[in-house]
Chains A and B, each alone.
Chain A
Amino acid sequence: MSRRVLGPFNRVEGDLELSLDTEDGVVSAARVNSPLYRGFEQILEGKAPADAMVIVPRICGICSVSQSVAAATALADAMGVTPPPNGARATNLMLATENLADHLTHFYLFFMPDFARDAYAGAPWFASAEARFKAIRGAAAADVLPARAQFMHLLGTLAGKWPHTLSVQPGGSARAVSATERVRMVSLIRSFRAWLERHLFGDALEAISGIGSEAALWAWLDAKGPERGDFARFLAIARNLRLDRLGRCEGGERYLSHGNYVFEGERLFARGVWDGASASLLDFAHEDVTEDVSHAWMAGEGACHPLSGFTQPDIARESGYSWCKAPRWRGEVVQCGALSRQVVDAHPLARDLVAAGGGNVFSRVVGRLLEIARVVPEMERWALAIEPGERFCTEAGVPDSAQGVGLIEAARGALGHWVVIRKGRIQRYQIIAPTTWNFSPRDGRGTPGALEQALVGTPACESDEMPLAVQHVVRSFDPCMVCTVH
């Protein structure tokens, strides 16, 4: 056995270090470390509750609206306030814009450039991948950056700026949309759809979201071949490299989704935990969540529910190897992200992929792109339904003593905020981010987190300093380390 430490990882958000044990050219054990700590939960203590709306988005510049929506939901829960319909539509539009832009950034700038590396020079698809996806120089970056920036004009209108808006509020949105702005937003969404259909999918969004099985997916690819668009290029590479056999987390065949895009009490995407072993959907309740500090550089013992948990760094802790705590659901490892959302929401393609090969590098990427195809038409519906002149925000005060829970979905998966307010101030604030679930260290029972398990069995020959297969597995989760450790 040999052990080595890998880093810095690029094209993941934030800081990541892996410690890998390898035997016979494959990973036998992995430890995931996030070597950065900032302490937002400590920073929030003692603040006026509304100040959380300034502070929490700055946990993360890549999913800052998601952090805002989670905080607003937790505060709204504590305040007992519900946003008016326009406020909910505007919030959903902001969240969806950020989530989809994240998926796009991940696919084009973070994930695909690895297939344009010299190590793949002999592959049949290499010339096409290199021309299209090469880091910085590839043609795709030049196509996607202007399209993404224009799509973000939705946030210019609704959020004032991105990242770090304050228009997301517990009572709705601070930015009322006028009739002409509504029309303009619909046009931005339609132009984004046109870009996706031309460059990413080479097909109508509805044709993509209508693909109901893995067999149908391959038939769709074979109908026109890999040059029909970037999704097809990815599929061809995935088939050739058997990416469906890479990055499976066998001990974490549980897929968590908090459910997302709430409107009048209903969620567009369902909440629950899909249990892969029994192929059944289980209820999710936040009371079943704990965070364990036994392998984190954190003070405290064992596992706590977030409403009673606390965050106090302790670099001297001998068993610690990360700044990340270990969240568990009913004591078990779960994974989250776009694939989990689609599986929990019963999309037939996502369910079929997971039944065949579980969560793996291939199915995680398909899950993200499928979600883009499903959400854009919804965004158009929300924008069209906005009623200019009607209210966007409900005014409400913060009680002196209260607690609140905000469970939403960021691009990378389940995001939860738990707040306790005493004497009009934040007494306790705990956050579990998606990558905290996926990149968690071992827990008190010694069970490794989702990525730690997913890396086991990955080819990593000893002479290779940064094995590409390891990088694919890591990036298939689209990690956000700054969120993880906040």
Chain B
Amino acid sequence: MNVLWLQSGGCGGCTMSLLCAESPDVLATLEGGGVSLLWHPSLSEASGPEVVAILESCIAGTTPLDVLCVEGALLRGPHGSGRFHVLAGTGRAMIDWVRALAARARHTVAVGTCAAFGGVTAAGCNPTDACGLQYDGNAAGGLLGAGYRSASGLPVINVAGCPTHPGWVLETLLALALDGIAAVDLDALGRPRFYADQLVHHGCSRNEFYEFKASAEKASDLGCMMEHMGCKGTQAHADCNVRPWNGAGSCTSGGYPCISCTEPGFEEPGHPFFETPKVGGIPIGLPTDMPKAWFVALAALSKSATPKRVRTNATADHPVVTPVIRKTGFK
């Protein structure tokens, strides 16, 4: 299966994240899965005119383009010209290259939130008129249009994440190489469901603090970060706390809140990232499937029942009260 990988208006971080793949490493995984890279800007030997020849042969249909991977947002500015990103040596805007290649690709994969939805490149005043391949933030459309389907009949596969986890990318590519991905395997935003049908909150090491609404108040505290620190783990679709990052990590275990980087529009939450917006002391962004009244009632109850250990540890950076040792009485 031939994969062509292009980088547009992003930071290259999704490629760098990919290089952190382990057991086996990224090149061994691709080779074992029958995936060959037609060209990847960081890994391939080919440079200059050799690269342009590869792209042109894909567009002409001479080289089968099984998967087009795009990393980074598509920059439409200034004034629709795409001149904020011209593919070096070609004088042609990257958005034109991507349009021409996407028309040929059997599958089109957005690697990371920039390519999927616009991402941080589209934040603030969006100086470059950045968007994703098939989304402009929350709105379907983007560079290729809401109606775009690759030759396989699928919309753009959005492997969202900022950066995206190496496992999310590799498992998507391996699935495409092995038996394909069907429409039912993608969620409503085009994300592979194998990682997007879960919440970051699942498996978070702070779940006990969450249960008792024992909350962190400042950076490095151990408590749940939902109430005061802006954590969106109860709303963000991803398996970050089940599938480790860099061997051992995740955002919430790294001491900071989930900012829901797999969601469209995460770059402009409408409030400072490290603050939880509240109305009448109740966070606005409640867990998606929980009625507000229940949340309020349960929070009041659980706060009144918080064990001293959980309450004390919530605002410390290491456990200061340890669990009690008690004979269970069972023989």
A residues adjacent to B (C-beta < 8 A):
5-11, 13-17, 33, 35-39, 42-48, 50-51, 53-55, 58-62, 64, 105, 109-110, 113, 116-117, 134-136, 141-142, 145-146, 148-150, 152-153, 155-167, 169, 171-176, 178, 313, 315, 388-389, 391-393, 395, 465-466, 471, 482
Question: How far apart sit A135 and B46, CA to CA, in the bound complex (Å)?
Answer: 9
Chain A residues within an 8 Å CB radius of B44: 10-11, 135-136
How far does the alpha carbon of A178 sit from the alpha carbon of B78 in the complex, in Å? 50
Contact B10 A61 (CB under 8 A): yes
The residues in B between 18 and 48 inclusive whose CB is less than 8 angstroms from any CB of A are 19-22, 24-28, 37, 39, 41-48
Chain B residues whose CB sits within 8 angstroms of the CB of A156 once the complex forms: 244-249
A7 in contact with B48 given A62-B16, A160-B255, A174-B255 (CB within 8 Å): yes
Task: Please name all residues of chain A whose beta carbon is closer than 8 Å to the beta carbon of B138 when the two chains form the complex.
Answer: none
Assess whether A117 is in contact with B256, with CB atoms less than 8 Å apart. Answer: no
Given contacts A178-B318, A395-B218, contact A161 B246 (CB under 8 A): yes
Measured CB to CB, the nearest residue on chain A to B36 is: A136
CB of B181 within 8 A of chain A?
Answer: no
Chain B residues whose CB sits within 8 angstroms of the CB of A117 once the complex forms: 45
Q: Verify A14–B7 contact, CB threshold 8 A.
A: yes
Contact of A6 among B78, B89, B245 (CB under 8 A): B89
Is the CB–CB distance between A61 and B15 below 8 Å? yes
Q: Name the residue of chain A whose CB is nearest to the CB of B125.
A: A42
Interface pick from B116-124, B280-288, B292-300, B321-329: B116-124
> Contact check: which of A16, A64, A161 meets B11 at CB < 8 Å?
A64
Q: Are A149's CB and B163's CB within 8 A? A: no
- With a cutoff of 8 Å between Cβ atoms, the chain A residues found around residue B13 in the complex are 58, 60-62, 64, 163-164
Bits for B5-17, please: 1 = Cβ < 8 Å to A, else 0: 0011111111111
21 pairs, CB–CB < 8 Å, chain A vs chain B: A10-B51, A11-B47, A15-B88, A36-B8, A43-B123, A43-B126, A43-B127, A50-B273, A60-B13, A61-B11, A64-B11, A149-B247, A152-B20, A157-B248, A160-B253, A160-B255, A164-B163, A165-B256, A167-B254, A169-B220, A173-B220
> Which A residues are CB-close (under 8 A) to B16?
61-62, 162-163
CB atoms of A9 and B252 under 8 A apart? no
Central interface residue in A157, A166, A389, by most chain B CB within 10 Å = A166
Chain B residue contacts of A116, Cβ below 8 A: 45
Task: Convert B98-127 into 0s and 1s, putting 1 for each residue whose CB lies closer than 8 angstroms to a CB of A.
Answer: 000000000000000000000111011111
CB distance from B277 to the nearest CB of A (A): 13
- Interface status of B232 (Cβ within 8 A of chain A): no
B128 interface neighbour in A37, A50, A392, A482, Cβ under 8 Å: A37
Contact across chains for A465 and B256 when beta carbons are under 8 A apart:
no
- By a CB distance below 8 angstroms, the chain B residues around A389 are 318
B263–chain A nearest beta-carbon distance, Å: 14
Residues of B within 8 A of A47 (CB): 124
Within B222-274, the residues touching A (CB, 8 Å) are 244-257, 259, 261, 267, 272-274
Give chain B nearest CB distance to A373 CB in angstroms: 22
Contact at A10–B42, with CB atoms within 8 Å?
Answer: yes
Known: A8-B41, A136-B44, A174-B220. A466 touches B49 (CB 8 A): yes
A45 and B124 contacting across the interface, CB-CB below 8 Å: yes
A392:B220 contact, CB within 8 angstroms: yes
Interface residues on B, range: 35 or more
Residue of A43, A173, A388 with most chain B CB atoms under a 10 A cut-off: A43
What's the Cα separation between A482 and B50 when bound, in Å? 23
B174: CB under 8 A from chain A? no
- Indicate whether A174 sits within 8 Å of B90 (C-beta atoms), given known contacts A136-B27, A313-B78, A313-B127: no
Q: Are B42 and A109 in contact (CB under 8 A)?
A: yes
Chain A residue numbers with a CB within 8 Å of B47 are 8-11, 466, 471
Task: Tell me, yes or no, whether B84 is within 8 Å of chain A by CB.
Answer: yes
Complex Cα spacing A212 to B9, Å: 43
Apart from the given pairs A7-B90, A157-B248, 8 other A-B contacts in the complex at a CB distance below 8 Å: A15-B85, A37-B85, A48-B273, A160-B255, A161-B246, A391-B220, A393-B219, A482-B11
Residue from A46, A161, A388 within 8 A of B245 (CB atoms): A161
Q: Across the interface, do A8 and B48 meet the contact criterion of CB distance under 8 Å? A: yes
User: Are B124's CB and A58's CB within 8 A?
Assistant: no
Q: How far is the CB of A131 from chain B (nearest CB, A)?
A: 15
List, in ascending order, chain A residues with CB within 8 A of B88's CB: 6-9, 15-17, 33, 35
* Contact status of A145 and B27, CB under 8 A, knowing A6-B48, A10-B47, A176-B318: yes
CA distance A175 to B252 in the complex (A): 10
Establish whether residues B22 and A150, one from each chain, have CB atoms under 8 Å apart when the complex forms: yes
- Known: A38-B128, A149-B25. Contact between A161 and B121, CB under 8 A? no
Q: Are B21 and A61 touching (Cβ within 8 A)?
A: no
Asked whether, in the complex, the Cβ of A51 is within 8 Å of the Cβ of B163, the reply is: no
Complex alpha-carbon distance, A169 and B218, angstroms? 11
Contact with A105, one of B19, B37, B89 (Cβ below 8 angstroms): B19
B255 and A167 contact, CB distance less than 8 A: yes
Nearest chain B residue, comparing its CB with the CB of A50: B274
Q: Is the CB of A153 within 8 A of B248?
A: yes
- Bound complex: CA of A240 vs CA of B27, how far in Å? 31
Q: Is B69 an interface residue (CB 8 A)?
A: no
Whether B317 sits at the interface, judged by CB under 8 Å, is yes
Task: Let me know if A174 and B272 touch, CB within 8 A.
Answer: no
Assess the A38–B272 pair: CB atoms within 8 A: no
Query: Could you tell me if B249 and A157 are in contact, using CB atoms closer than 8 angstroms?
Result: yes
Query: Considering the chains assembled together, what is the distance between the CA atoms of A302 and B9 in angstroms?
Result: 28
In the assembled complex, which residues on chain B have CB atoms less than 8 Å from the CB atom of A152?
Answer: 20, 246-247
- Distance in Å from the Cβ of B312 to the closest Cβ of chain A? 15
Asked whether A174 lies within 8 Å of B11 as measured between CB atoms, the reply is: no
Q: Is B87 an interface residue (CB 8 A)?
A: yes
Is B310 located at the chain interface by the 8 A CB criterion? no
> What 6 pairs across the A-B complex have the smallest Cβ distances?
A160-B254, A61-B13, A7-B89, A7-B88, A156-B246, A39-B127
Q: Which of B37, B86, B244 contacts A136 (CB 8 A)?
A: B37
A213 to B318, CA, bound (A): 48
> Which residue in chain A gives the minimum CB-CB distance to B316?
A176
Which residues of B are found within 8 Å of A13, using beta-carbon distances? 12, 42
Does B162 lie at the interface of the complex (its beta carbon under 8 Å from any beta carbon of A)? yes
Across the interface, do B220 and A176 meet the contact criterion of CB distance under 8 Å? yes
Query: How many angstroms between the C-alpha atoms of A59 and B244 in the bound complex?
Result: 24
Among B41, B52, B256, point to the contact of A166 (Cβ < 8 A): B256
B83 touches A (CB below 8 Å): yes
Q: CA separation between A105 and B17, bound complex, in Å?
A: 12
- A134 CB to closest chain B CB (Å) equals 8
Instruction: With both chains docked as a complex, state the minimum distance between the C-beta of B319 and any C-beta of chain A, in angstroms.
Output: 9
User: How long is the Cα–Cα vector from A167 to B140 in the complex, in angstroms?
Assistant: 33
| Distance between Cα atoms of A333 and B20 in the complex (Å) | 36
